[in-house]
Structure 1
Amino acid sequence: MNTGKMQQKLGKLTQFFNSNVYIQAIKNGMLAYVPFIIIASVFLIIGSFPIPAVANWLASLFHLTTAQFAAKLGIVNDASLVIGGLIVLLAISKNLADQMKLDNMPVMLATMVAFFILTPYKADKAGNNFLKVANIGAQSIFLAIVVSIFAAVIYRVIAKKGITIKLPASVPPAVSKPFESIIPSLVVITVFWIIRLILDQFSGQSALDLINAILGTPLKAIGGSLIGVLIAKTFAQFLWFFGIHGDSIVNGIMTPVLQVLQDQNKTATLAHHAVPNIINQSFWDQYLQIGVVGAILAIAIVAHSQRYKALKKVALVPYLFNIGEPTLFGIPLMLDFTYFIPLVFSNAASIIISYSAFALHLVPIPTGLVQVPWTTPIIISGFLVTGSWTGAVLQLVDLIVVTLIWIPFVKIADKRIMAQEQETSKEVDK
Structure 2
Amino acid sequence: MKEFFRKFSEVLESKLMPVADKIGKQRHLAAVKDGMLAYVPFTIIASVFLIIAYIPIPAYENFITSILNVENAGVWQGKLIYVSNATMDVGALYVLIAATYSLAKYYNTDKLQATLTSLAAFLVVTPYVFGDNGGNIPMTKVGAQAMFLAIIVSIVSVEVYRKIEQKGIVIKMPAAVPPAVAKPFASIIPAFISITLFYIVRLILEITMSSDLFTVINTIVGKPLLLLGGTLPGMVIALLFEQLLWFFGIHGGAIVSQGAMNPIWTVLEDANRVASIAGEVPPNIISLSFRNSFASIGVIGAIIALVIVAKSKQYREVGKIAAVPYAFNIGEPTLFGIPLMLNPIYFIPLVITPAVSTIIAYFAFVTNLVPLPTGLAQLPWTTPPIISGYLVTGSIRGALLQLVLLVTVTLIWIPFVKMADRGLCKEEAAFEAEKVLN
TM-score range, shorter chain: over 0.9
Distance 1:330 1:131 in 2: 52
Query: How far 1:18 moved relative to its partner?
Result: 2.5
The TM-score normalised by the length of structure 2 is 0.96
In structure 2, the residue matched to 1:181 is 187
Contact 1:121 1:130 in 2 (8 A): yes
Q: Which position in structure 2 is the counterpart of 1:298? A: 305
Which range moves more in the overlay, 323-332 or 390-399? Answer: 323-332
Of 393, 406, 411, which residue of structure 1 is paired with 2:413?
406
Separation (CA, whole Å) in 2 of partners of 1:61 and 1:4: 67
- In structure 2, the partner of 1:389 is 396
Cα distance between partner residues in 2 of 1:301 and 1:127? 66
1:168 is paired with a residue whose SS is coil
1:346 touches 1:405 (CA, 8 Å); kept in 2?
yes
Residue deviations 1:314-335 (CA, integer Å, cap 9, x gap): 0010011011111111111112
For 2:296 and 2:69, the matched residues in 1 are separated by 41
Distance 2:254 2:400 in 1: 29
C-alpha distance after superposition, 1:264-306 (max 9, x if no partner):
0001111122211000000011101100000010010001001
Distance 1:15 1:39 in 2: 33
Q: 1:170 to 1:414 in 2, by over 3 A?
A: same
Q: Percent identity?
A: 49
Indicate whether 1:265 and 2:272 are aligned. Answer: yes
* Structure 1 residue 379 corresponds to structure 2 residue 379: no
Q: Which of 147, 158, 161 does residue 152 from structure 1 map onto?
A: 158
The aligned amino acid for 1:267 is V
Match in the other structure for 2:45: 39
Match of 1:161 among 155, 158, 167: 167
Which amino acid is the alignment partner of residue 210 of structure 2?
A: G
Query: In structure 2, how many angstroms separate the alpha carbons of the residues matched to 1:9 and 1:298?
Result: 33
What is the CA deviation profile of residues 361-406 of structure 1, one whole-angstrom value per residue up to 9, with x for unaligned ones? 0000000111101210011100100000000000000000000000
1:312 correspondence with 2:319: yes
1:26-65 map, 5 Å = 26-64=32-70, 65=72
- Which stretch has the larger CA shift, 73-82 or 150-159? 73-82
Unaligned 5+ runs, structure 2: none
Say which SS state the counterpart of residue 365 (structure 1) adopts: coil
Tell me, what secondary structure is at the counterpart of 2:81?
Answer: helix
3-state SS of 1:16 partner? helix
Deviation, 1:123, is 1.5
**In 1, Cα distance between the equivalents of 2:255 and 2:415?**
30
Distance in 2 (CA, whole Å) between partners of 1:410 and 1:58 is 50
CA distance in structure 2 between the partners assigned to 1:61 and 1:260 by the alignment? 36
> Which shows bigger deviation, 138-147 or 330-339?
330-339
The equivalent position to 2:101 in structure 1, one of 65, 85, 94, is: 94
- In structure 2, the residue matched to 1:120 is 127
For residues 304 and 342 of structure 2, the distance between their equivalents in structure 1, rounded to whole angstroms, comes to 21
How many residue pairs align between the two structures? 429
Write the letter of the residue equivalent to 1:25. A
Does 2:296 align with 1:289?
A: yes
Q: Work out the CA distance in 2 between the residues paired with 1:142 and 1:268.
A: 21
Is the contact between residue 46 and residue 55 of structure 1 (CA under 8 Å) also seen in structure 2? Answer: no
1:55 Cα deviation from its structure 2 partner: 2.4
2:27 to 4, 10, 21: 21
Relative distance call for 1:379 and 1:127 in structure 2 (3 A) is closer
Q: Distance in 2 between matches of 1:428 and 1:163?
A: 76
Within the candidate set 251, 254, 262, 1:248 is matched to 254
Residue 356 (1) aligns with residue 378 (2): no
TM-score, L = length of structure 1: 0.98
Task: Return the alpha-carbon distance in structure 2 between the equivalents of residues 336 and 94 of structure 1.
Answer: 40
Partner of 1:341: 348
Q: For residue 52 of structure 1, what is the amino acid of its counterpart?
A: P
- Aligned match of 1:235 in 241, 245, 250? 241
Q: Deviations over 1:408-430 (max 9, x none)?
A: 11110000111111111122222
* Structure 2 equivalent of residue 201 of structure 1: 207
Q: 2: distance between equivalents of 1:122 and 1:325?
A: 49
**Could you tell me how far apart the structure 2 residues matched to 1:59 and 1:31 are?**
36
SS at match of 1:129: strand
The 2-side partners of 1:56 and 1:233 are apart by 42
SS at match of 1:333: coil
Q: Which residue is equivalent to 1:110?
A: 117
Once residues 423 and 326 of structure 2 are traced to their aligned partners in structure 1, the CA distance between those partners, rounded to angstroms, is 25
Structure 1: which 5+ runs fail to align? none
Q: Give, in angstroms, the shift of residue 127 of structure 1.
A: 8.1
Partner SS, residue 53 of structure 1: helix
Code of the aligned partner of 2:201: I
After superposition, the C-alpha distances for 1:4-57 in whole angstroms (9 at most, x for unaligned) are 231232221232123211000000000111111011100011011111112222
1:275 match? 282
C-alpha displacement of 1:130: 2.0
